[in-house]
Amino acid sequence: MPLLQFHVLEGRSDQELAAFLDAAHRAVLDTFHVPERDRYQIVHEHKPSRVRFEDTGLGIKRSDKFVLVHISTQRHPIEQKTAFYDKLCAELERSCGIKSTDVMVSIVENTVADWSFGLGRAQFLTGELHGALGDAASTPPGSKQPAGPASASRGRSTCALFNSEINSPQQKLRAAVAQTSSNNKETIMTITTRLTKRFGIKHPIVLAPMTPASGGALASAVAAAGGLGLLGGGYVDRVWFEAESAKVTRSDVGAGFITWTIPEDPGLLDIALERHPRAMMLSFSDPGPYATRIKKAGVPLICQVHTLDHAFHAVDVGADVVVAQGTEAGGHGWALRSTMPFVPSVVDALAARAPEVLVLAAGGIADGRGLAASLMLGADGVLMGTRFWATQEALIPDAAKARVLAATGDETIRTSVYDLVRGRIWPPGYTGRLMRNDFIERWQGREKELAQVHGEELRKVEEAEKSDDFETANVTVGETIGLVHDIPKAGALVDRIVAEASDRLMKFAPALAA
């Protein structure tokens, strides 16, 4: 029993509206196989629209006959949905003179008991997309490209957030969300932003180059899933880096280092640039001394920042991407700005000063809700650490992962006690966010005393690491541990995040067209 709703522009006559209903009636009966005696509902809204029907932002030309149809229905195979779309377009063209380019259908799958337009997974079908989307909806590997415009809606449904009369970031997003059927198996949606276009990746998700979590297996898995995988370089540990570099299975993996440690082994940066030229990320302190070398190698430079001054300096030295990290993030950073207000501040500042530079959001992002929110803040994508830290490929002890699964976001703290006990002298302003434990509780606020016995305490920490005693050894994670409830494969996690973000974005797509 489908529920249908029409949105049309002002000026339709009663005869035209009746023709719409008749066309929908015939399409429902023919393709969803609803018996005529069954009850189903078709409603319409006839009101002013803010749709820019001349140009959707995806290269698809609309006219003043644009029709948007929302359907709430039970689960149907993709072939049945596209058959409905084709039948509806044919009926509308025959009886109302409306071309397929002016028809968009939003299908939301709901349970038998739930007949609303706001729940379920939305899927849009719209005509004449072949060649119009370009990079915005690239054909997934292994699937065949449609033969031409007339076949664009067959075997492939494409969902697009088209431009309405709203300003950035929605206009900037222009996300093309595509869902494809191949061999009767639906593949994951994609969200297209400047990041995905610039780097030729499928999803606007970047793996933080965490050490030791982001080894060769995790970086490769994220890249294979369509994100940007970055191999952790950390404190320039050459032995560890070369071992994990050898485990990288793809050529589209980049790397990242803690900037202030590079002088301890300058040659390792050159090795990373040669082996993993996809991107180089520099975090924590001035990237300037190494920016020229990275740019000369033709490698995109990603710089993580914690203040607007940091962002401006990163742009001045040649950053291609700026990561705006909030204090919610795990690991090191500044306890100064939180992600929600910091990201749009950086977006606005760089839009005026260096509009070609991409901005990623980082800190407190663990699922599709965080990705969708970041895009709405104006970011081109997200850099994620803690959520990938809790995946099967991450080089983290199972006992530490289990500890995180049982924790909430209230159980983290910013501290320097582990830096102090390990003898790592971080630049001023930097502390690390970790999970609270007995060691932190014992020494937080007693750093001067810890400095006097750091050798003895270091031995305790190292022994604890060997025995998986995480009341003494550190667990370096952010506030999003409260959103971590399983330990999935990294590829499955990427798919889940994108699907959830797509659902969240599509939930409000009708509002953009209304």
- Annotated catalytic residues are 2
Residues in the chain: 514
Q: Is 323 exposed, middle or buried (0-12, 13-18, 19+ CB in 10 A)?
A: buried
Place of tokens 């434990």: 437
> How far is the C-alpha of 168 from the C-alpha of 446, rounded, in Å?
47
Q: Which two tokens stand for residue 62?
A: 């609309």
Residue 182: Cβ within 10 Å count: 16
CB 387 within 8 A of CB 399: no
> How far is the C-alpha of 208 from the C-alpha of 215, rounded, in Å?
11
- Reply yes or no: is the peptide bond before residue 212 cis, omega within 30 of 0: yes
CB 343 within 8 A of CB 349: no
* Residues sharing a CB contact under 8 Å with residue 273, sequence separation 6 or more, in sequence order: 280, 293, 294, 297, 299
> How far is the C-alpha of 109 from the C-alpha of 120, rounded, in Å?
5
Q: Give how far Cα 185 sits from Cα of 111, 190, 219, Å.
A: 21, 16, 26
Q: Strand pairing of 253-258 and 280-283?
A: parallel
Instruction: Residue 276: name the closest of 260, 259, 297 by CA.
Output: 297
- With H, G, I as helix, E, B as strand and everything else as coil, classify residue 331: strand
> How far is the C-alpha of 365 from the C-alpha of 359, rounded, in Å?
15
